[in-house]
Structure 1
Amino acid sequence: MTTVRDATLAVLRGYGVDRVFGNPGSTEVAFLADLPDDLSFVLALHEGSVVGMATGYALATGRPAVLNLHTTAGLGNAVGALATARVNRAPLVVLVGQQDRRHLAAEPFLAGRLDQLAGPYPVWVEQPVLAQDVPSAVRRAWHEASLRRGPALVVVPMDDWTAEVDPSLGRAAPDRVHAPVPAAPGPAVDELARLVDAATAPVLVVGAGADGQAAWDALAALADRIGAPVWQEAFGARAGFPQHHPRFAGHLPDARSRLRATLAGHDLALVVGTAAFRQYVYEPGPLLPAGLTVAVVSADPDEVHRSEADLAVLADPADLCAALAARVAHRDRPAPDRPHPAPVPPPAPGEPLRATHVFAALARRLPADVVLVEETPSTRPELHRMLPARQPRGFVSAAMGGLGFGLPAAAGLRLGDPTRPVVAILGDGSSLYAIQGLWSAARYNCGVLYVILSNGRYAVLDRLTEQYGGKPPWPAFGEVDVHGLAGSFGCPARRIRTHPELLEVLDEVVPTLATRTEPLLLDVAVSPEPHFAP
């Protein structure tokens, strides 16, 4: 007899799946018990960490990660992380447990109304009508996640796993689905080329959808060809251009008045791999300076349709920009005058460490191929200036902005690609949203360097409250011991309180990043930075 479980495992095996991320519950035991030797279970201690690890793994491998969530509580705990996975373009196949189908109508204990619980963030959700259909639903979820780059959910009642599959009934999904072959350069490239050649001062804006070697090469060739500066989108989750390139101008501001000032003097903005334009704090007034034409190129239909643009092209950024670079006229223009970050002197005797001291020390030591995971809201601008992404996937952050992504995602990134060193720079407040992820990093030999900037407060929120003329109603939490918490989860940790201690440990640890299999957390006491830009 072939059971639904047997058939589903065969589907996963056929796609080369060798692990399932999850936090187990009773509605999933029939699937998880006695997993075959070629399929391992990667345990995280909270569903947000499950999704965070799986997201990092999927971003590192470029293939869907498979994860298991436990009915209403598990899926509910994971919704914010699933939203981040969707906006981070991470393909996930999510198996969600459900109560026994035979009494589901009576809503027994642990039953859930699951099809809408994650809202619009999954790219596809299905609870098969028949147990027989579960393997086909998992097969389709793989295709949906792969092609639409997001989480695809299959809700499986617990008794379905032991049901018998009747092969005579066939299946409702193909084994393989090929993505559309990119169209040859055509009218879209012709129209974009005319816009670029007619512009007197074009500018490129890049986003996370251009984070890949082919897109970087095409964009660098295009920027050099037309002599344009290149800006990174505000709050970009990944780098869309080599940030050490001479034509890289910096990160766009996230408020309308500063965006207008930055783009003033340009008559064409070619936006690649993102929407036009991401904002944060609302400001009245026009979004763009007068006279600016905007063209968007993205493989994401949502980005194309929500952009304030004169022309939008749904296409692969690398292919289209390579064709465009070969089509437009050459212009001999110097690179933008971009000031280098001012040197950061070491703290004077008795002066506390600041985040910029940590960034400066890392900047002098980290290799070019490092994967830098960021979740430090109050010092993100300084991190961008001092630690540019020099290779694709060199910068990873949470596209949705919610905290709790960075710590488990760093472990998943290292697990998915152990050839790249991974360093996660997190605020202590950020780390506490997913601190239990340290257990998984230690258990599964994810050699991540976690640098925790500990100031015992939500510094970014304290400063925003002060800008509103008020006082924070929440207390500081300086008594929280991140170093001690790390030890309780089996993750080695060190306390850093002085600049010499910081340099000593970085000189010891950074050379080992490429090969280490044990995570290390540095609990670095820092004072809030004196300047702040949200």
Structure 2
Amino acid sequence: MRTVRDAVFDIFRRYELTTVFANPGSTEVPLLAGLPDDLRFVLALHEGSVVGLAIGWALGRERPALALLHSAAGLGNAVNAITTARENRVPLVIIVGQQDRRHLALEPFLAGRLDRLAGDYPVRVDQPVRAQDVPGAVLRAFHEATTSRGPALVVVPMDDWQAPFDDETVAAPARLLRPVAVADADLAPLVELLTGARRPALVAGSGVGAGWSALVALAERLGCPVYQESFGGRAGFPQDHPQYAGVLPDDRIRLRERLRPHDVVLAVGAPVFRQYSYEPGPLVEPGTAIALVTDDPAVAHRSPADLAYLAAPESVCARLAELLPTPARGGAFSRASGREPYVGGPLRHVDVLHELAGRLPHDVVLVEEAPSARPDLHAIVPARTSFGFISAAMGGLGFGVPAAVGLRMALPDRPVVAVLGDGSTLYGVQGLWSAAHYRVGVLFVVLSNGRYAVLDRLADKHGGGKGPWPPFTEVDLGAMSRSLGCPAQRVETYADLTATLDEVLPSLATRETPLLLDVAVGVDP
């Protein structure tokens, strides 16, 4: 007898969902016991790491990844990572186990109220009415995750897996096509706006994805500066290009000043415009027109733009580069530079970043989760490929460690470096076990200052007095890493730093075991 489980496994195979990231419980055992040999199971020790690994895997392979969560406890633990997947626009199919359908009405032990537990962050949540509807729900979740570029959830009671599935209909298309061409007539208003601009500018966002060539062609045709969106989850433009002009400020006063010279600003794959602390006033000065190209409906609908296109950025940029005339402008544009290299004394995080920048290979995949060091990382370490800067756009901690592991699993021939704060590392430290167990050769560079330095800075800026949170200098991340099976080294001096990087980085692309560098740094002013 063909079962629901058999039908879902066939869907996994057909749509390349053959790696299952999970931390299972009893409600998932009927699915996993006797898992076929052609399906790979990857264990993580916390559900945040489960989804974090899946995020990295999906980013690296540029297609949906599969995660399995355990009822209310597992889904609840993973909500932070699910919000990151949504904000980073990473396609995930997430199956959530549920208690036996036959006594759910009595709310048995481990039954979960799951439909709204993750809030509005999933792009779809499905609780199939019948067991036989599960395969269609899983396939629809794959299509929804791909189309909306986000996490799609399917809640499956544990007894559904063994239900019969002979001659049943799968309520989803076997193949779904998404044409992306944009007609020249539809582009005419944007062509007119850019052709008449005296000093245009582009803002590149993570929504550009890996298709940089079209945006580069458009930038070079316009001969204008290109800014990176603030708090983006991914670099949207090569940051060693002469037209790259740095990351946009995340407050309105400095944003208006930075964009003041431009009469037209076109945001590509980026919202208009991402901010942090609230400040009153408009985003741009009067007289500056804003245009937007995005394939995210939510971004298109909420952005205060004069002209917005809901379309594939790569297709629009490629055609604009052909339609626009070449203006009489061009050249390099100034941007903020990094601080001076090491000058003696205790290590600072900028010293670590300088030494990394001089040694990282061109094709490095760099995952960042070091909030207090992020501005200096942007200034010192340019992203030279679309994977040269990956971060959590949502801002919740716990992304860096597991995402780096998932990325290296998906891209085994590329060097992967995670630059992390010690506070951030503690949120996703369980991912080190998965890195060690599955022999995933990521280099974790932890900037250890024994405190939440970014919070200290915010308290100083707020002016309301010192924050009540203590430092956590007792934490030994090296010992914690080794206890999880991941080798670790303590780095306390400049000589130790340079010697270690010289030893490790040349072989990083072929490394089969992870390594955590616990780098002692002071608190930069």
1:222-261 matches, cutoff 5 A: 222-261=218-257
- What residue in structure 1 maps to residue 135 of structure 2? 135
**SS at structure 2 position matched to 1:204:** strand
Q: 1:303 to 1:421 in 2, by over 3 A?
A: same
Q: 1:339 to 1:317 in 2, by over 3 A?
A: closer
- What residue in structure 2 maps to residue 44 of structure 1? 44
In structure 2, how many angstroms separate the alpha carbons of the residues matched to 1:298 and 1:184? 13
In structure 1, how many angstroms separate the alpha carbons of the residues matched to 2:220 and 2:410? 34
**SS at structure 2 position matched to 1:514:** helix
Return the letter of the residue paired with 2:172.
A
- What residue in structure 2 maps to residue 325 of structure 1? 321
Superposition deviation, residue 517 in structure 1: 1.2
In structure 1, how many angstroms separate the alpha carbons of the residues matched to 2:502 and 2:145? 41
Superposition deviation, residue 162 in structure 1: 1.4
- What residue in structure 1 maps to residue 107 of structure 2? 107
1:204-283 matches, cutoff 5 A: 204-212=202-210, 214=211, 216-283=212-279
- What residue in structure 1 maps to residue 183 of structure 2? 185
Matched, 1:391 2:393: no
In structure 2, how many angstroms separate the alpha carbons of the residues matched to 1:288 and 1:161? 55
- What residue in structure 2 maps to residue 500 of structure 1? 495
**SS at structure 2 position matched to 1:432:** helix
Which structure 2 segments of 5+ residues have no match? none
Matched, 1:428 2:422: yes
Task: Give CA deviations for 1:315-355 in whole Å, capped at 9, x if unaligned.
Answer: 1111111111111121232434425735633242xx11001
Task: Give CA deviations for 1:484-525 in whole Å, capped at 9, x if unaligned.
Answer: 000000001000000000000100100111111110000000
In structure 2, how many angstroms separate the alpha carbons of the residues matched to 1:345 and 1:25? 50
With normalisation by structure 2, the TM-score equals: 0.98
- What residue in structure 1 maps to residue 292 of structure 2? 296
Matched, 1:478 2:473: yes
Q: 1:83 to 1:340 in 2, by over 3 A?
A: closer
Return the letter of the residue paired with 1:206.
A
Superposition deviation, residue 25 in structure 1: 0.5
Cα pair 1:259 1:288 within 8 Å, conserved: yes
- Aligned-pair identity in percent equals 60
Superposition deviation, residue 9 in structure 1: 0.9
Task: Give CA deviations for 1:195-244 in whole Å, capped at 9, x if unaligned.
Answer: 011111111111001131x3x21222222222210000111110111110
Matched, 1:157 2:153: no
Larger mean Cα displacement after TM superposition, 474-483 or 1-10: 1-10
Cα pair 2:250 2:276 within 8 Å, conserved: yes
**SS at structure 2 position matched to 1:329:** coil
Task: Give CA deviations for 1:347-372 in whole Å, capped at 9, x if unaligned.
Answer: 42xx1100111011001100010010
Superposition deviation, residue 3 in structure 1: 1.5
For 1:315, which of 302, 305, 311 is the aligned residue? Answer: 311
Q: 1:267 to 1:339 in 2, by over 3 A?
A: closer
Task: Give CA deviations for 1:24-69 in whole Å, capped at 9, x if unaligned.
Answer: 1111111011111111210000000000000010000011111100
1:301-380 matches, cutoff 5 A: 301-338=297-334, 341=337, 344-348=340-344, 351-380=345-374
- What residue in structure 2 maps to residue 10 of structure 1? 10
Q: Which runs of 4+ in 1 moved over 4 A?
A: none
In structure 1, how many angstroms separate the alpha carbons of the residues matched to 2:516 and 2:69? 28
- What residue in structure 2 maps to residue 455 of structure 1? 449
In structure 2, how many angstroms separate the alpha carbons of the residues matched to 1:95 and 1:519? 29
In structure 2, how many angstroms separate the alpha carbons of the residues matched to 1:115 and 1:381? 38
For 2:462, which of 468, 478, 493 is the aligned residue? Answer: 468
In structure 1, how many angstroms separate the alpha carbons of the residues matched to 2:147 and 2:134? 20
In structure 1, how many angstroms separate the alpha carbons of the residues matched to 2:95 and 2:65? 11
- What residue in structure 1 maps to residue 31 of structure 2? 31
In structure 1, how many angstroms separate the alpha carbons of the residues matched to 2:267 and 2:47? 35
Larger mean Cα displacement after TM superposition, 277-286 or 9-18: 9-18
In structure 2, how many angstroms separate the alpha carbons of the residues matched to 1:446 and 1:436? 14
- What residue in structure 2 maps to residue 197 of structure 1? 195
With normalisation by structure 1, the TM-score equals: 0.96
CA RMSD of aligned residues (A): 1.2
Cα pair 1:132 1:166 within 8 Å, conserved: no
In structure 2, how many angstroms separate the alpha carbons of the residues matched to 1:55 and 1:161? 26
Which structure 1 segments of 5+ residues have no match? none
- Aligned pair count reads 524
In structure 1, how many angstroms separate the alpha carbons of the residues matched to 2:223 and 2:100? 63
Return the letter of the residue paired with 2:65.
A
Return the letter of the residue paired with 1:472.
G
